[in-house]
Amino acid sequence: MKTRKISTLGVASCVGGPSSSCARAPQVLKQSSYSSILKKHSIELDWQPVLEVSGKARNSLNILNKQSCVISQFSQEQFEKKQKFLVLGGDHSIAAGTWAGVMNQLPAGATFALIWIDAHMDAHTIETSPSGNLHGMPVTLLLGEAEHDLQACFPSENFLSGQSIYLFGIRSYEAEELVMLSKEKVNVFDTQRIKNEGGTRKVLQALIQTISSCYDYYAISLDLDAIDPEDAPGVETRAETGLSAENLLAVFKESRFEDNFIGLEIAEFDPGHDIDQKTEKLVFEVIASIF
């Protein structure tokens, strides 16, 4: 079987979150013995030079701006070449760059949907955020709803409509986020809704199938804290309970990611919080199951 190469950018960044060890994630993954999981499926990560982001100025808009510009150049180039891509963080502030690049290259009139799998809504502004951490704000940037200085860190003049963002696995948020997402008509699948509608496997599989057939392009941004801490302890901001890793992987394996699936982003892996390399291994299982 011919080996399939996936163009991969690691972003060693903790600019937007509380943990400095989150920035070690790309190098840990690049050197991981669990890459053997990919070899079994004839997948190889074509690593670009890891983007090393200074962690000295936490929550710096200047650093976020520079980080976003570099990431967006990568995703825009891959999308232009019609090559599926992988971005590995680092904290979830990386999403501002990843999806700005796609929006910059999206053909006129084309539709694009983003499946955002996360325990959190990530829809704060600088004004509403209790912590001030930038990794809690990328969805606001994607929607073009942030304050001027923060929005300037999104290197695109094109934004996603609320109806083309699908938040899945949500279980931790503030009222201000819910108000903003409701106003923007963002699709929110919190854990209670998922349970009521038949569970992760049924709901997520149907969602992927519907999106893949209704949009010209789609992608997935996975924050590992969406997954139950028992299965993925190595994350920056844990939230109790969560999606079963087994069910999530089953959905990815059973779904057909056709040519209109353009890329995957995995954020918030924190090697400093991992236990027995559970989360490190899971990252490769996710990559293998999707690609």
Is there a catalytic annotation at residue 268?
Answer: yes
Question: Of 145, 190, 223, 270, which is the active-site residue?
Answer: 223
- Hey, which residues does 243 pair with through a beta bridge? 227
CA distance 190 to 188: 6
Is there a catalytic annotation at residue 276?
Answer: no
- Hey, which residues does 219 pair with through a beta bridge? 114, 263
Total domain count for the chain?
Answer: 1
Question: Of 118, 145, 177, 274, which is the active-site residue?
Answer: 118
Question: Of 91, 122, 228, 231, which is the active-site residue?
Answer: 122
Q: Which residue has the tokens 């079963």?
A: 244
Is there a catalytic annotation at residue 225?
Answer: yes
**Average pLDDT score over residue span 53-57:** 86
Question: Of 91, 124, 135, 228, which is the active-site residue?
Answer: 135
pLDDT recorded at residue 190: 97
Q: What is the dihedral of CA 195, 199, 205, 210, to 10 degrees?
A: -30
Per-residue pLDDT of 64-92, as tens digits, reads 999 999 999 999 999 999 999 999 999 99
Is there a catalytic annotation at residue 118?
Answer: yes
Three-state DSSP string of 51-80? EECCCCCCCCHHHHHHHHHHHHHHHHHHHH
Decide: helix, strand or coil at residue 225: helix
Q: Which residue blocks in 81-147 are alpha helix, DSSP H?
A: 95-105, 138-143
Question: Of 225, 228, 231, 236, which is the active-site residue?
Answer: 225
Q: Half-sphere exposure of residue 31, counting CA atoms within 13 Å on the CB side?
A: 6
Give 226's pLDDT tier (boundaries 50, 70, 90): very high
- Hey, which residues does 43 pair with through a beta bridge? 4
Question: Of 184, 236, 268, 274, which is the active-site residue?
Answer: 268
Mean pLDDT for the chain overall: 97
Can you give the C-alpha Rg of the chain in angstroms? Answer: 17
**Domain ranges, residue 211:** 4-290
Question: Of 92, 265, 273, 274, which is the active-site residue?
Answer: 92
Per-residue pLDDT of 17-53, as tens digits, reads 999 999 999 999 999 999 999 999 999 999 999 999 9
Is there a catalytic annotation at residue 41?
Answer: no
Is there a catalytic annotation at residue 246?
Answer: no
Indicate which CATH number applies to the domain containing 104: 3.40.800.10
The pTM of the full predicted model, rounded to 2 decimals, is 0.97
Q: Which residue has the tokens 């971005």?
A: 87
Residue 1 confidence (pLDDT) above 80: no
pLDDT recorded at residue 55: 81
Give 56's pLDDT tier (boundaries 50, 70, 90): confident
**Average pLDDT score over residue span 124-140:** 97
